[in-house]
Amino acid sequence: MTGTTHEFFTVKTVQQALDDLLPLLTHIPAHETLPTVQARGRIIAEAPRAPLDLPEFARSSMDGYAVRAADTFGATPSLPAYLKVAGVIPMGARPDLRVKSGHAAEIYTGAMLPEGADAVVMIERTQAIGDGEIEVMAPVAPGENIVQIGEDVAAGDAILPRGQRIRPQDIGGLLAVGITQVTVTARPRVALLSSGDELVPPAMTPSPGQIRDINAYVLAAMFEERGAQASIHGIASDTFDDLYGKARSSLDAADMLVLSAGSSVSVRDLTREVINRLGAPGLIQHGLAVKPGKPTILAVCDGKPVIGLPGNPVSAALVARQLVLPVIDHLQGAVPVRPPSIRATLTHNIASTTGREDSVPVRVITNADGTFSAEPVFGKSNLIFTLIQADGLVTVPLNSNGLRAGTEVTVYGL
84 has which bridge partners?
Answer: 103, 133
Answer yes or no whether residue 118 interacts with a copy of itself by CB under 8 A. Answer: no
| Shortest separation between residue 245's beta carbon and a copy of itself, angstroms | 19
Answer yes or no whether residue 377 interacts with a copy of itself by CB under 8 A. Answer: no
CB of 288 closer than 8 Å to CB of 20? no
Count of residues engaged in binding a copy of itself, rule: CB under 8 A: 104
Answer yes or no whether residue 111 interacts with a copy of itself by CB under 8 A. Answer: yes
**Which of the residues 6 through 35 are near a copy of itself (CB under 8 A)?**
6
Among 19, 23, 46, 57, binds a copy of itself (CB under 8 A): 57
| Whole-angstrom distance, CA of residue 227 vs CA of residue 243 | 27
- Residue type, position 127, single letter: Q
Phi, psi of 344, deg, nearest 5 = -150, 165
Answer yes or no whether residue 198 interacts with a copy of itself by CB under 8 A. Answer: yes
**Which of the residues 233 through 262 are near a copy of itself (CB under 8 A)?**
238, 262
236 has which bridge partners?
Answer: 195
Task: Using CB atoms within 10 Å of the CB of residue 73, give its burial: 0 to 12 exposed, 13 to 18 middle, 19+ buried.
Answer: exposed
Among 81, 222, 328, 331, binds a copy of itself (CB under 8 A): 222
Among 263, 276, 345, 400, binds a copy of itself (CB under 8 A): 263
Q: Indicate the residue among 70 and 265 with the shorter CB distance to a copy of itself.
A: 265
- Would you give the binding string for a copy of itself spanning residues 123-162, x where CB under 8 A is met? xx-xxx-----xx-----------x---xxx-----xx--
Give CA separation, 131 vs 67, 128, 135, 366, in Å.
18, 9, 12, 64
Cβ within 8 Å of residue 265, ≥6 positions away:
1, 5, 6, 7
Give CA separation, 307 vs 78, 236, 282, in Å.
79, 16, 11
Q: Indicate the residue among 74 and 92 with the shorter CB distance to a copy of itself.
A: 92
Among 176, 284, 365, 398, binds a copy of itself (CB under 8 A): 176
Among 178, 397, 402, 406, binds a copy of itself (CB under 8 A): 178
| Shortest separation between residue 46's beta carbon and a copy of itself, angstroms | 17
Answer yes or no whether residue 63 interacts with a copy of itself by CB under 8 A. Answer: yes
Answer yes or no whether residue 74 interacts with a copy of itself by CB under 8 A. Answer: no
Among 98, 388, 397, 405, binds a copy of itself (CB under 8 A): 388
DSSP string over 96-165: S-BPPTTEEEEE-TTPBPPBT--EEEEGGGEEE-STTEEEE-S---TTTTEEPTTSSB-TT-B-S-TTPB
Answer yes or no whether residue 215 interacts with a copy of itself by CB under 8 A. Answer: yes
CB of 226 closer than 8 Å to CB of 258? no
**Which of the residues 286 through 315 are near a copy of itself (CB under 8 A)?**
311, 313
**Which of the residues 393 through 412 are near a copy of itself (CB under 8 A)?**
none
Answer yes or no whether residue 221 interacts with a copy of itself by CB under 8 A. Answer: yes
List Cβ<8 Å contacts ≥24 apart for 377-381: 381/291, 381/292, 381/312, 381/314, 381/315
Q: Which region, judged by CB under 8 A, interacts with a copy of itself, from 104-112, 274-282, 284-292, 346-354?
A: 104-112
Among 167, 280, 281, 378, binds a copy of itself (CB under 8 A): 167
Alpha-carbon 75 to chain mean position: 52
| Shortest separation between residue 399's beta carbon and a copy of itself, angstroms | 15
| Whole-angstrom distance, CA of residue 315 vs CA of residue 296 | 9
Q: Indicate the residue among 295 and 333 with the shorter CB distance to a copy of itself.
A: 295
> Would you call 183 helix, strand, or coil by DSSP?
strand
Cβ within 8 Å of residue 173, ≥6 positions away:
153, 159, 160
